[in-house]
Amino acid sequence: MIFTLRYFFILTLVFYTNSLFAEKTVELNDRINIFNALQKQKIFNKHRILVHLTHICDLIIDNRHYPVINIKEHVKGAQVPRGVGHIIVLDSSLNLIKKIYHDGASSPLYCKDNKLFLYGYIDIDGLAAEGNVLSFGNKGKKVVVSEMESNDFPKLRIPQ
C-alpha cells in the first residue's frame, strides 16, 4: 500500500511539473489574443466602435495556416447604425497579412485550402470583378476574386 502511494505521488509530481514547463501556444480561436494582436497593430479605426470580431477559419497556403478574422466597426455618433466590415488575414504569429473591405451585404463563410467562400459578392479595392470566392497565394498577399454558384461550393466538414 505504501509503495503504491509513493508511486502515485511521484507520477503526479512528474506530470504536474511537466505541465508547468510546457510551452504555451497561442490558441487562434482565443478572441482576446486576436483582439490584442489586432489592437497592437492599430488595425481598428479609432473613430469607430468595434462591434464584432470572429475567427472564421484558417486558410492553408503552402502548407501554412493563415487565420481569417471578420470584424465589423460602427461609425460613432451615427443616427442609424452604419458600419464597416473587414476580412483580416493573419500569419500564424497573428501579424497582419491582408485587410479586405466588405460591406454589410457580404460576409465570409468558411475556408477550403487557400480559398475563402463568401456569402454575397465582394470586389477588392474596386479594381477587380465582383465574386464570392477569394483565392489566396504568395503567403496570403495575393488575392484573386472569382465567382461560383453557391450550390457548387465544396461541402463544409464540421470538425468533430
Helices within 22-160 (DSSP H only): 31-40
Domain ranges of the chain: 31-152
Alpha carbon separation from 112 to 73, 89, 139, 147, 157 (Å, rounded): 26, 14, 16, 15, 9
Q: Which of 72, 66, 28, 59 is nearest to 134 (CA)?
A: 59
Q: Which three cell numbers stand for residue 105?
A: 451585404
Total Cβ atoms within 10 A of residue 47:
9
**From first to last of its 160 residues, what are the pLDDT tens digits of the chain?**
554 445 445 544 444 444 444 334 445 557 889 999 999 999 999 989 999 999 999 999 999 999 999 999 998 887 777 888 999 999 999 999 999 998 878 999 999 999 999 999 988 877 767 899 999 999 999 999 999 998 889 987 776 5
**Residue 99 near residue 125, CB atoms below 8 Å:** no
